């Protein structure tokens, strides 16, 4: 184990050096982090970031459901929130959820209290990631129910962020560099628990029928193209589905090494068993190039890719 080029502060949580990250992502690929930090609570996180040299890069990682870590791993410190950050509190139509709380669990807890956050039930990942990516499905987005979030900044300060700070857009938001989301307050319409349970059941059934939920994927690979016009005229603008333009380019089932564009849903990049991060990202880039050649549409990644390629 090589010496780190930076000092590590004392913590109450857990610090692990040279931590393989592949097992922490849904794709099961990726190299090691120089350091993985799992803070005990918000104060532990604040103290750590305050004491850590500002030159050391920090990456906040959720449950890895929408992430490819490259084979060379991540330099600096990866922060992964756990048990001290997964609480859910409900009062009236408001839900305060820790950033590590799973989207599905938040949806179920809210439904039991008569608060409609049902769209979160089918979204993989945690609330922190949902805020970061403005997660959504079935026409609803995190931004629609967002009230505020708490985050620890790189200097250790704890701040409250509103929608005007995060500047929500389709499948993205804007966070200060190095900031770590620790909780979010959401507000949903009120309904009966029975109606919400039924709504979630129908959505789950619809998802399972159309998506490869049993395969090793990271959710949708590319954002749906928006505002595309084949003629340049405003009255010709249309929204397209990424899977459709991938199919039109003849890429359903396309492979590179152990990576494949899923046969069931072609916008799901899949690790068939022995893919490397390079296989997955390489196939994604080949798809982007072929779709552009075929239709003039530039697909944008929805999956976040981080880290360094394998030096070999």
302 is annotated as an active-site residue: yes
Number of H helices, E strands in the chain: 8, 16
CB neighbourhood size of 76 (10 A): 18
Matching residue, tokens 């190095």: 178
- Catalytic option among 19, 80, 171, 216: 171
Q: Quick check: helix, strand or coil at residue 262?
A: coil
Matching residue, tokens 């499948």: 171
d(CA 1, CA 16): 12
For residues 8-19, one letter each, b for 16 or more C-beta atoms within 10 angstroms of the residue's C-beta and e for the rest, the string is: beebebebeeeb
Determine phi and psi for 164, rounding to 5 degrees. Answer: -70, -25
- Catalytic option among 121, 220, 266, 281: 220
Is the C-alpha dihedral spanning 12, 9, 75, 305 positive or negative?
A: positive
Q: Token digits for 125? A: 């990942």
Residues in the chain: 312
d(CA 79, CA 85): 12
d(CA 149, CA 160): 6
220 is annotated as an active-site residue: yes
305 is annotated as an active-site residue: no
Q: Token digits for 3? A: 């010496």
Residue 46's nearest CA partner among 58, 34, 35 is 58
Q: Is residue 304 within 8 Å of residue 95, measured between CB atoms?
A: no
R_g over Cα of the chain: 20
Residues known to be catalytic: 171, 220, 302
């Amino acid at each position: 184990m090589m010496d780190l080029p930076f000092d590590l502060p004392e913590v109450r949580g857990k610090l692990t050096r040279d931590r393989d990250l592949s097992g922490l992502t849904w794709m099961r690929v990726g190299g090691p982090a120089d350091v993985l930090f799992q803070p005990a609570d918000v104060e532990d996180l604040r103290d750590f970031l305050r004491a850590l040299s500002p030159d050391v890069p920090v990456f906040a990682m959720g449950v890895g459901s929408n992430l490819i870590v490259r084979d060379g791993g991540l330099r600096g410190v990866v922060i992964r929130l756990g048990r001290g950050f997964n609480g859910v509190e409900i009062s009236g139509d408001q839900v305060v959820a820790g950033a590590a709380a799973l989207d599905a669990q938040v949806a179920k807890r809210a439904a039991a209290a008569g608060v409609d956050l049902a769209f979160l039930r089918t979204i993989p990942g945690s609330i922190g990631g949902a805020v970061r990516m403005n997660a959504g499905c079935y026409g609803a987005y995190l931004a629609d129910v967002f009230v505020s979030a708490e985050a620890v900044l790189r200097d250790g300060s704890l701040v409250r962020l509103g929608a005007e700070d995060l500047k929500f857009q389709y499948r993205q938001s804007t966070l200060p560099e190095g900031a770590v989301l620790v909780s979010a307050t959401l507000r949903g319409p009120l309904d009966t628990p029975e109606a919400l349970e039924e709504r979630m059941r129908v959505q789950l059934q619809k998802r399972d029928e159309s998506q490869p939920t049993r395969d090793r994927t990271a959710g949708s690979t590319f954002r749906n193209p928006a505002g595309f016009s084949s003629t340049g005229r405003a009255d010709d603008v249309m929204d397209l589905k990424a899977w459709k333009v991938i199919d039109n380019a003849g890429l359903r089932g396309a492979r590179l090494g152990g990576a494949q564009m899923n046969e069931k849903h072609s916008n799901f990049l899949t690790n068939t068993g022995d893919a490397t991060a390079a296989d997955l990202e390489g196939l994604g880039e080949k798809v982007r190039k072929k779709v552009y050649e075929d239709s003039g549409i530039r697909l944008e990644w929805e999956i976040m890719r981080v880290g360094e390629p394998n030096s070999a």
